[in-house]
Structure 1
Amino acid sequence: MDETKLTTLILILAPIAFVGFWCATIWIVALASGWRRLAQAYAVPRPIPDSARSGVSGMVGWAGYNHVLRVAHNDRYLYLDVMWIFRVGHSALRIPWSDITIGKETRWLLYDMTRMEVGRPSIARLRLPTDLVASAHASA
């Protein structure tokens, strides 16, 4: 194979390989963090409510979702979603407040976070900014 054909082949295959690697990585994070378990019980069709705050940092299980979460709430539900580039394996979620147990406040890096257990029995642990949880839970 001459050098021109090899260069062309690399230019075609490299983006395909990157996209495949990206999708596999994001899907594995969704599986390992607990997002997929949450989706089995709480998946909802997109879009979540327009009132959602974007760029929220939080954690699902062990996985940090730094500035990629979209979070909305009303008196009955907490809604979670991710930015479009992280959607592989991440369904939008609508979790009833009745299925959430609010835990203790913790410090995570530079953020005051509130730990929450989701499900009865618990199927996943969330950590979201304390101010967001306080305002959301007050409206519930």
Structure 2
Amino acid sequence: MKYANGNEYTGEWVADKMAGQGIYTWQDGRKYEGEFKDGSFAGQGVYTWPDGRHYVGGFQNDRFSGHGVYTWSDGRRYEGGFQDDKFVGQGVYIWPDGQRYEGEFINDERSGKGIISWSDGRRYEMMRSESRGDCSYNVDLCNRTRVIK
């Protein structure tokens, strides 16, 4: 079905709503391919942008939800939990240069316990407290602990 605004849906329908498997394409080049329920993205799917970004994973009510992988066009990547389009729970954020953070996220931010590591072997173990804004970390290379406020 082609809409007046240029967007298009191809797929299954139930009770005049998008349901089951389908593809929704926006006139600006964005595309969702996957499962629909009651007219919304629900279940597993792939969302792509014209600039090369893409998300593969779970959806609920048109939002990233559950486990997924979000990849930016510059090579950055996040794999882990999502809720309402935000990083939550356990996840891994990887930069193109090999640096990575593996740990806890709340609302797209590193929070709680995590490990930052580099391809040259450096590694920081950290604990971040959102309520106080503090961050403590252990540096494997110099064997000391610091608290940053």
Q: What TM-score does the superposition give when structure 1 sets the normalisation length?
A: 0.29
Larger radius of gyration: 2
Select the structure that is richer in strand.
2
Select the structure that is richer in helix.
1
Which of structures 1 and 2 has the larger relative contact order (alpha carbons within 8 angstroms, sep 6+)? 1
Q: What TM-score does the superposition give when structure 2 sets the normalisation length?
A: 0.28
